[in-house]
Amino acid sequence: MRRIWAILVALSVLMFFFYRIMPTLPEFGNVEMFRKSTFDIIHKSTKGPYDAREFKKSKNLEEGSANVVTSIVVNYRSFDTLGEVTVLFISAFGAGLMLGSLRSNRRITFDEHNVLITASGVALPLIFLLGSYVFIHGHLSPGGGFPGGTILALGILLLALARNDFQVAGTKYVEQISGAGYVVVGLAGLAISGAFLANFLPTGTLGELFSAGVVPFVYALIGFKVGAELAGLISDLREGGA
């Protein structure tokens, strides 16, 4: 009976979307970009007239990251990302808070295995390297702070799986510095360029490593923050909280 009701509810949600929302959406794969604000964002000409941009050639654009998604995430809509970071932060914090108030000691331990211990020693630097690469090159290639940070946290997870005596310490300080750093970058934009989260560094050439103004810095901060938060979350879930 319960399942029948569930099917009916799921169907009514489906019907609602099919009947009310879908008919108003454009055909799949047939979006008119000219009617979108992103058209100007892609060509990085939101403040000036339309101009075609080219990889490794266009210089000193209003926004310098080659990855347009990154330029939206960390520049045009950086405020959203600040909120996003906050979401992750507050839920990790909440998890720590709740796990810390558990009555029983529920530290999780595994059977240590030599293969894993040895392999983790080899893999860990590589994982960290990959993670750092991903968030440093966030403005050039797919990736960025969030995936990079997650990869860093995966390294910590590997250590936690491998060694029972491994404990994460100091994630809070990383979080503290990187989180506050993000807001400070934003406030610096307010102080220098007159708008919160504004870019106040030169944007360089499209596609170079040293380009895109504050974007790499912000992505690095996010990377560390996300890494620290997820590592903290892993540690909290394992240790039973702080």
Q: Looking at residues 11 to 70 of the shown chain, list those that interact with another protein (rule: CB under 8 A).
A: 11-31, 33, 35-38, 40-43, 46-47, 52-57, 66-69
The pair phi, psi for residue 138, each rounded to 5°, is -60, -30
CB-based contact 215:75 (threshold 8 Å): yes
Q: What is the DSSP letter of 59?
A: B
Name the minimum Å distance from CB 24 to another protein.
6
Long-range pairs, 26-32, Cβ under 8 A, ≥24: none
Name the minimum Å distance from CB 104 to another protein.
6
CB-based contact 70:216 (threshold 8 Å): no
d(CA 214, CA 200): 7
Name the minimum Å distance from CB 233 to another protein.
6
Name the minimum Å distance from CB 132 to another protein.
19
How many residues touch another protein (CB under 8 A)? 109
Using CB under 8 A as the binding rule, the residues of this chain from 157 to 216 that contact another protein are 172-173, 175-176, 179-180, 182-184, 186-187, 189-190, 193-199, 206-207
Tokens of 40: 């100007």
d(CA 92, CA 29): 37
Taking residue 148's Cβ as centre, other Cβ atoms within 10 Å add up to 26
Which region among 81-89, 107-115, 118-126, 152-160 touches another protein (by CB under 8 A)?
81-89
Name the minimum Å distance from CB 123 to another protein.
24
d(CA 129, CA 122): 12
d(CA 5, CA 11): 10
> Which one of residues 126, 141, 202, 210 is an interface residue with another protein (CB under 8 A)?
141
Using CB under 8 A as the binding rule, the residues of this chain from 84 to 123 that contact another protein are 84, 86-95, 97-99, 101-104, 106
Residue 235 contacts another protein per CB under 8 A:
no
Name the minimum Å distance from CB 218 to another protein.
11
Quick one: 40 or 132, whose CB is closer to another protein?
40
Quick one: 84 or 166, whose CB is closer to another protein?
84
Determine the longest span between alpha carbons in the chain, in angstroms: 65
Quick one: 35 or 114, whose CB is closer to another protein?
35
Quick one: 15 or 117, whose CB is closer to another protein?
15
Taking residue 166's Cβ as centre, other Cβ atoms within 10 Å add up to 14
Name the minimum Å distance from CB 239 to another protein.
12
